[in-house]
């Protein structure tokens, strides 16, 4: 089968993603063999390929927003059934974090496309206990971005503690942000998008957000909550300064450049809160997919044939993708 893999991470300009041919994988006990129908391209893939997140095995096939078709029915899934595979691949189930419902913090967790081969290939495997059933109305390419961009955005929105009908700031407007903004709007929020990309600002306004401005512009009103999607630490003080008293900033990304020095009075006092978001639990995944089945989200997709995965990743690195890039074998 065709598969893309990373052996030696490095700057995307050096083409660290290699195209190769591999045997179709054999599922381990508890795993499903899936024929990949679509795999969305996440910024985390870029972090793995470029080495911001050190590779856990090499070579590794990236990709963790996988829509697959079950090849052989097993573990309660029928042959031909459509399932989703996300970043969280497995957890230990017995540590203190797993036991208290915080499996996203499990120190023994494993990740798709990092600890195990992912979806930049024609076939992949996934533990059945971590596969999701997918809402019907979405075509493959549109449901794929929900599996990380959607789920992580959903968790970030929960972590940002946006009050009912509150004012939300969204910093950066890629795949995850454009879904999260729609969820917040559906819940009656006023949403202000702050991003440097004019195309992303247009997409945001088209989706019905309240305002769209530049990444460091002050929003038109103080924010009850904000989510930082751009992996840019320099925006942390910008977003904290935009919060109203008691507001919360959640940092959604797995990787962030260094945060500059904060000024207590300007950025934190008056009980403003800064918090991170780490992966997701399966309960987050099910909650997001359930929300998406009840509210038809508009998923902006730029499809690429699987043969052009390197180009999709380079376009993401160069901010040339509007919405989500999705590989289609």
Q: Which of 106, 146, 189, 225 binds Zn ion (CB under 5 A)?
A: 106
297 binds Zn ion (CB under 5 A): no
288 binds Zn ion (CB under 5 A): no
Q: Which of 2, 95, 128, 241 binds Zn ion (CB under 5 A)?
A: 95
To Zn ion, the closest distance from the beta carbon of 118 in angstroms equals 10
Cβ distance to Zn ion smaller for residue 273 or 302: 302
Cβ distance to Zn ion smaller for residue 38 or 42: 42
How many angstroms separate the CA atoms of 98 and 151, rounded? 19
23 touches 122 (CB < 8 A): no
Which positions from 72 through 91 interact with Zn ion, judged by CB under 5 A? 91
61 binds Zn ion (CB under 5 A): no
32 binds Zn ion (CB under 5 A): no
Burial 161-191 (b: 16+ CB within 10 A, else e): ebeeebbbbbbbbbbbbbbbbbbbbeeebbb
How many angstroms separate the CA atoms of 75 and 70, rounded? 11
DSSP of 111-155: EBTTTB--SSBSEEEEEGGG-EE--TTS-HHHHGGGGTHHHHHHH
With residues binned 3-state (H G I as helix, E B as strand, rest as coil), the percentages for the chain, rounded to 5, are 30, 25, 45
268 binds Zn ion (CB under 5 A): no
Which positions from 229 through 258 interact with Zn ion, judged by CB under 5 A? none
Residue window 122-161: x/- pattern of binding to Zn ion, with contact defined by CB under 5 A: --------------------------x-------------
44 binds Zn ion (CB under 5 A): yes
How many angstroms separate the CA atoms of 82 and 38, rounded? 11
State the residues that interact with Zn ion by CB under 5 A: 42, 44, 91-92, 95, 98, 106, 148
């Amino acid at each position: 089968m065709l598969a893309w893999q990373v052996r030696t991470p490095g700057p995307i300009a050096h083409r660290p993603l290699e195209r190769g041919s591999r045997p179709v994988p054999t599922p381990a006990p508890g795993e499903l063999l899936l024929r990949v129908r679509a795999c969305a391209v996440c910024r985390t893939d870029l972090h793995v390929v470029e080495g911001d997140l050190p590779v856990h095995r090499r070579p590794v096939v990236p990709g963790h927003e996988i829509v697959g078709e079950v090849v052989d029915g097993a573990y309660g899934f029928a042959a031909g059934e459509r399932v989703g595979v996300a970043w969280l691949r497995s957890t230990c189930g017995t540590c203190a974090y797993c036991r208290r419902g915080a499996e996203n913090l499990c120190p023994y967790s494993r990740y798709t496309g990092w600890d195990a081969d992912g979806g930049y290939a024609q076939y992949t495997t996934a533990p059945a206990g971590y596969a999701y059933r997918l809402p019907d109305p979405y075509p493959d390419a549109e449901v794929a971005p929900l599996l990380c961009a959607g789920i992580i955005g959903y968790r970030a929105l929960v972590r940002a503690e946006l009050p009912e009908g509150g004012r939300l700031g969204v910093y950066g407007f890629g795949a995850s942000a454009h879904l999260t903004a729609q969820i917040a709007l559906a819940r009656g929020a006023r949403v202000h998008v702050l991003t440097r990309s004019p195309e992303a600002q247009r997409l945001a306004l088209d989706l019905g957000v309240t305002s769209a401005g530049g990444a460091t512009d002050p929003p038109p009103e103080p924010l009850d909550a904000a989510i930082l999607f751009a992996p840019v630490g320099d925006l942390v003080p910008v977003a904290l300064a935009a919060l109203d008293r008691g507001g919360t900033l959640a940092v959604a990304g797995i990787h962030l450049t260094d945060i500059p020095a904060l000024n207590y009075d300007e950025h934190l006092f008056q009980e403003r809160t800064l918090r991170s978001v780490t992966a997701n639990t399966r309960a987050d995944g099910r909650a997001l997919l359930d929300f998406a089945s009840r509210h038809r989200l508009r998923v902006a997709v730029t499809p690429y044939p699987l043969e052009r995965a390197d180009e999709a990743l380079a376009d993401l690195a160069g901010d040339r993708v509007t919405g989500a890039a999705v590989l289609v074998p």
